[in-house]
Amino acid sequence: MGNPSKGSFLVKNFLRYSVIFSEGTRGDTAYLLKEGMVEISKEMDGKKKVFAHLRPPSMFGEMAILLDDEKRTATAVALEDSKVVEIKKYDFQEYLKQSPVIISTLVNVLVHRLKTATVKSLRVPNLFIGICNVFGLMAQGGVTTFNYLDTLNTLAATFNTNKESIDKALSMLEQHKIIEFFMNDNHEKTIRLLETKDLAHKVAERTKGA
């Protein structure tokens, strides 16, 4: 069982083999692993499938921050006595101001999803909201331009969906002037963020006003 400690961040200690969260439960919290080791797994065809063994510094449970009303798509268990920073969804913006390492770690997780196995075979809902929130987080980390093909592939892998669905969402963002497409100096299609905050909300407002 986790025990909170005092400080700007809520730090919890989990004993070996403690369950941090379970697949199918509701979550509004992500975790930054500071000490120990955490296993991420999912039940598939009645059998346990292990996706990752995480070591510090690693972010996990981040889909709870990226998506609304999200159920946990996997189970996280401490394989060793572990210490984690608990990041509540409603506190996330404040945490970003206090600790840039959290946003840089999360951005790193998202950018390198293609190289991990933690989201393979995991399908998530609210794709459009997820994409908007990923772009918003990237902007918080100071990244506002993206290679189109790399973004298409990375987002498709992150949300375990097809490229056509991602392209449709990107076209909608362009239509509502949230992003724009342009050719860079190497003649590669590139995405530039025109808005950097509350992207999904702004699209909803502009759609309503159309």
Give 15-63 pLDDT, tens digit per residue. 999 999 998 898 888 888 999 999 988 888 888 888 888 888 777 887 7
> What is the reported pLDDT for 117?
37
149-165 tens-digit pLDDT? 888 877 776 666 788 88
**Does pLDDT of 12 surpass 60?**
yes
**Does 57 share its domain with 147?**
no
**Does 79 share its domain with 20?**
yes
> What is the reported pLDDT for 194?
93
Pairing of strands 29-35, 82-88: antiparallel
CB 107 within 8 A of CB 65: no
> What is the reported pLDDT for 126?
65
Contacts of 176 (CB under 8 A, 6+ apart): 202, 203, 206, 207
**Does 143 share its domain with 208?**
yes
> What is the reported pLDDT for 179?
93
Average pLDDT over residues 129-156: 78
pTM above 0.75, yes or no: no
Query: Is 105 part of any domain?
Result: no
Q: What's the mean pLDDT when you consider all of the chain?
A: 76
Domain end residue (candidates: 43, 76, 97)? 97
What is the spatial distance between Cα 171 and Cα 189, in angstroms, rounded to a whole number?
A: 13
For residues 56-73, b (16+ Cβ closer than 10 Å) or e, as one string? eebbbbbbbbbbeebebb
> What is the reported pLDDT for 167?
92
What is the spatial distance between Cα 172 and Cα 106, in angstroms, rounded to a whole number?
A: 25
Query: Is 110 part of any domain?
Result: no
Domain containing residue 178: 126-210
**Does 15 share its domain with 86?**
yes
Query: Is 112 part of any domain?
Result: no
Q: Give the least confident one: 26-30, 99-103, 196-200.
A: 99-103
- CATH number of the domain to which 188 belongs: 1.10.10.1420
Residue type at 189 in one-letter notation? K
